[in-house]
Amino acid sequence: MTGKLASALGVAALLWLAPGPASAQAQPAEDAPGGIDAAARPSFDLDIRAPQPLRGVLERHLDLRRYREVSDLDDAELARLIRMADGEVRELAATLGYFNPEVRITREPGTRPTLVVTVEPGQPTAVNEVAIEFEGDIARSEEPDAMRQREGIRGDWRLPVGQPFTQSAWDDAKAASVQQLLARRYPAGRISYSLADIDATAHRARLGLRLDSGPLFRLGPMQVSGVERYNPVLVPRIARLPVGSIYDRERILQAQLRLAGSGYFDSAFILVDPQSDPQAAPVQVTVREAPLQKVVLGVGLTTDSGPRVSIEHIHNRVPGIGWRAVSKLQLDRKTPFAQTELMAIPDESGWRWAGLARAERLDDGNLVTHGQRLRFGRLRSEERIDRNVYVQYDRATVQTTAGAPVTSSDSGAGSALSANYVWTGRYFDSLTFPTRGHGLGLELGGGVTLGGERSVFQRTVFRGLFLRPLTQGRLQLRAEAGAVLARSGAQVPGTQLFRTGGDNTVRGYGYRELGVALPGGQTGPGRLLAVGSVEWQRPIRWGGRPTEFESVLFVDTGGVADRVGDLRLSTGIGTGVRWKSPVGPVQADIAYGIKSKSVRLHMSVGFVF
């Protein structure tokens, strides 16, 4: 039956190239027998009787629709069209996996004859055998990555045994396998052989595919164009594509994103030519530089802080030191701040110096904390891991919303000098729209308070986010725990302590609503933090296909205390929706706080860990 399949494939190609009915009607008269008179009435009616989706295919592509407009068809020509249509119907049915249909084309008399095309497609052809083979380096290599890539291609095959065979599904499955081959190690990969052997009588399809990987590609030297204003070492140090590393399309894409997001470049394009030397393939990088200075105005809205406006000034090469400076002023109801951050270009190992000065105001509804922060240290961003080592000075003053000062040692007023180490690892399948993987974060710090009697303190924070596929959706687990160890009377500034509640912590409660009870009914920061969340995420389907929207059900719980025995968790439950927008995930949740007995709307944009 390979001959039938070849004919079906040929028809599929012609259908892709052929114009639709509207285009056919606009063709010159000499393109059809007897000429087409656009103003003339159809010479016959056409009635197609077949189940969907076959009927839709016939209505769109059957040539009889075009010949209806031929004005002077005689009986002999009409009989010839009927004979031709029989074979065409069978070939079109074959593209949907029906290789032995019953086709009847009859002519019913009338003022204008009607051609009735009746098709009983019969049993669809199903895949009963799939053989995927390899040649080239991927077939010979014993490296674990190559073995995983082979098994991944076989395991992700999109037309497995038992599935109905259609031409489009066969083409899609082959294309997806080739893309998996090209994505890593083998940019010159190709299909060297493919066969769909159809047994029309038994309604079975045997599929064979052989992928030729070609040689293993390693990256060679970087060839950069477009850099005039900035230091040329910026591109290789930000891109982080070392000579000799194995080709990986995802790493190249991430390098492009890092370059475009660095602030130095408005755009970046990276190309590795599959026709180049596989042992040292040149990495061609084309960038378009960003202006030396720019001002960015922003507006936003969050359920925690309300409307927000901001102004940001960026200077990519500060005179005298050559560092990048980003200064920002943000105004909103709860968390206004002013901040300046200076950052050097990365050195050859990827580390860079950075400094920060920040003044902020935190209004949680009953206490207002004015904080100031100075930071200086080094940081390094790798493919999955970020590290930050710095010395920091914190100062905080606290008052009630009425303006009365609060000097209690539990209020968060005070100042401190500390040394800190922050480590973040992101192991997700995507950093924009992750569907599986995990992220881990650890903060370690220690210092001394400077206000009143000086005291040594130590601060530790652990964060984790886990995404696991489950049936037709995924399970998200989120956890955060923190502790500040110090003597009971130490005046640790509130910027080093903990509060929780709000959009991305414990939903169902207000921003920083959960803390430690203070005299006078106030709520202050605490030395211990515990937060946990379980969220079930499931795509919303329309017409049997997943859309860009997801529904969620969640339970959040968390609390803050000064002692373990005083820790009381507050729980929120709710539901929401996610939208995969061009700027990142947009989430809207409705949560009920069990302890607060209130319903809150929570909205946020983007995935952050």
**Longest Cα pair distance anywhere in the chain, in angstroms?**
110
Does residue 390 register a pLDDT over 90?
yes
pLDDT at 14 over 50: no
Using the predicted structure, report yes or no on whether residue 44 has a pLDDT greater than 50: yes
CA 582 vs. chain centroid, Å, equals: 10
Which of 104, 120, 136 is the C-terminal boundary of a domain? Answer: 120
Cα(43)–Cα(38) distance, integer angstroms: 12
**Are 458 and 377 within one domain?**
yes
Q: Same domain for 426 and 552?
A: yes
Spatial CB neighbours of 318, under 8 Å, sequence gap ≥ 6: 324, 325, 342
Q: What is the pLDDT of residue 401?
A: 67
CATH at residue 434: 2.40.160.50
Which strand ranges, in their side-by-side order, compose the sheet holding 265-272?
219-225, 281-289, 265-272
Distance of alpha carbon 206 from the chain centroid: 35
Average pLDDT over residues 92-111: 86
**CATH number where 263 lies:** 3.10.20.310
pLDDT at 288: 96
Residues in the chain: 609
Per-residue pLDDT band at 206 (split at 50, 70, 90)? very high
In a domain, 297, yes or no: no
Contacts of 22 (CB under 8 A, 6+ apart): none
What three-state secondary structure class fits 511?
A: coil
What's the whole-number mean pLDDT along residues 165-194?
A: 94
Q: Percent of the chain at pLDDT above 70? A: 91
Q: Is 306 left (phi over 0), alpha (psi -120 to 50) or beta?
A: left
How many domains is the chain partitioned into structurally? 4
Three-class HEC string of 4-42:
HHHHHHHHHHHHHHCCCHHHHHCCCHHHCCCCECCCCCC
The rounded distance, in Å, linking the Cα atoms of 483 and 560 is 10
pLDDT of residue 22 exceeding 70, the answer is no
Q: For 156, which DSSP code?
A: T
Bridge-based pairing of strands 45-49 and 114-120 is: parallel
Q: What is the pLDDT averaged over residues 377-382?
A: 92
Of the residues 60, 92, 120, the one at which a domain ends: 120
Asked if 125 and 165 touch (Cβ cutoff 8 Å), the reply is yes
The pLDDT-based confidence of 45 (bands split at 50, 70, 90) is confident
Residues 419 and 561 grouped into a single domain = yes
For tokens 């940001």, name the residue: 312
pLDDT of residue 11: 36
Question: Per residue in 276-290, is it b (16+ CB within 10 Å) or e — as a string?
Answer: bebeebebebbbebb
Query: Using only C-alpha atoms, what is the Rg of the chain?
Result: 33
Q: Report pLDDT digits (tens) over 249-287.
A: 989 998 998 999 899 999 999 999 999 999 999 999 999
pLDDT bin (cut points 50, 70, 90) of residue 80 is confident
pLDDT score of 301? 74
pTM recorded for the entire structure: 0.68
β-strands 281-289, 385-400: how paired? unpaired
Under 8 Å between Cβ of 21 and 60: yes
pLDDT digits (tens, 9 = 90+) for 146-166: 999 999 999 989 999 998 998
Phi, psi for 480 (deg, rounded to 5): -150, 135
- SS3 assignment, position 166: coil
Task: Give the position of tokens 């607060």.
Answer: 596
pLDDT beyond 90 at 211: yes
Last residue of a domain, one of 183, 212, 241: 212
Closest CA to 67 of 51, 79, 53, 81: 81
The bridge status of strand 281-289 relative to strand 324-332 is unpaired
pLDDT score, position 609: 83
One domain for residues 17 and 53: yes
Q: Which residues pair with 58 in a beta bridge?
A: none
Which domain covers residue 136, as residue numbers? 126-212
Binned at pLDDT 50, 70 and 90, residue 19 comes out as very low
Tell me the average pLDDT of the chain.
87
325-368 pLDDT per residue, tens? 999 999 988 889 999 999 999 998 889 999 999 999 988 777 78
Residue at 313 is within a domain: no
For 184, which DSSP code? B
Please, are residues 173 and 153 in contact by the beta-carbon 8 Å criterion?
A: no
405-411 mean pLDDT: 63
pLDDT value for 326: 96
Tokens describing residue 562:
């000064």
Establish if 175 belongs to a structural domain.
Answer: yes
Cα separation, 434 vs 426, in Å, equals: 10
pLDDT for the residue 410: 63
Summarize the confidence of residues 524-531 as an average pLDDT: 94
pLDDT per position as a tens digit, 439-487: 999 999 999 999 778 999 999 999 999 999 988 899 999 999 999 999 9
Shared-domain flag, residues 380 and 444: yes
Same domain? For 446 and 359 the reply is yes
